[in-house]
Amino acid sequence: MLLLLPHPAHAMHLAEGLLPFGWAAGWTLSVLPLLALGVTRLRQRMAQSPLYSPFVAMLAAAVFVVSCMPVPVPIIGTCSHPCGTGLAAVLIGPVMTVLVTFVALLLQALFLAHGGLSTLGADIWSMGVVGGFVGYAIFHGLRSLRASLGVAAFAAGMLSDWATYAMTSFELASALHGAQPLGTTLGTLLLSFLPTQLPLGILEGAFTAGAVVFISRRRPALLKFHALPAAPATP
């Protein structure tokens, strides 16, 4: 009944000013090398295939739209939402997923007030880095064990989503637990997200599986974009 009551959502992603400056700056600085690697890889792979750039742009748009679907979490005054980064990681790899996440979250912060600029680095870490790398590892780990494409994609989408919110809870708990033990605050945050994120993760797994299976049947070459070789260095 509590979840059905109207309640204002005060934040989407980690809102502006939610993290102390030192924590926010630390998350931002630590993600910069991955963003630089993503830009370098994008330039290299654009030279290998003219389809690569529009495909990455399409995935950035998909992550932007999917992660703009808020579901209020009444207990802590924030929102859950699907992420889309599990699908991106399967199709273009985790490093490029970090770059795609940066673009989507930056546009949301600037134009929709979803998340903040000071917390952008932390939001990228949870959604792009942790979500992307977990989704990629799960997908390829299951495929190496001969799981079907649909099962591997479902697990990648679902666990990527759940890993994102586990990381978000850790980011909040580590910065804001105060005199309380870190584990107590972390457990409270995880339990707060559980009623919304548990079903959202399952739905995102189904969405990821459906998209990957559809692409494999219509344009199977797109599943190999994450493995494109780097362009040869110019003399």
Q: How confident is the model over 173-209, as pLDDT tens digits?
A: 998 887 788 899 899 888 888 888 888 899 999 999 9
Q: Which fold has domain 21-219?
A: Arp2/3 complex 21 kDa subunit ARPC3 (1.10.1760)
pTM of the model as a whole = 0.86
Q: Domain residue spans in the chain?
A: 21-219
User: Can you tell me the distance from the alpha carbon of 204 to that of 235, in angstroms, rounded to the nearest whole number?
Assistant: 45
> Tokens 């739905």 — which residue?
203
Torsion region of 203: left, alpha or beta (phi above 0 gives left; psi -120 to 50 gives alpha): alpha
Surface-to-core class of residue 85, CB atoms within 10 Å of its CB (0-12 exposed, 13-18 middle, 19+ buried): buried
Asked whether the beta carbons of 200 and 161 are under 8 A apart, the reply is yes
The per-residue pLDDT for range 127-162, each reduced to its tens digit, is 999 999 999 999 999 999 999 999 999 999 999 999
Give the model confidence (pLDDT) of 11-38 as tens digits.
457 777 778 889 999 999 999 999 999 9
| pLDDT tens-digit readout, 54-79 | 999 999 999 999 888 776 665 554 56
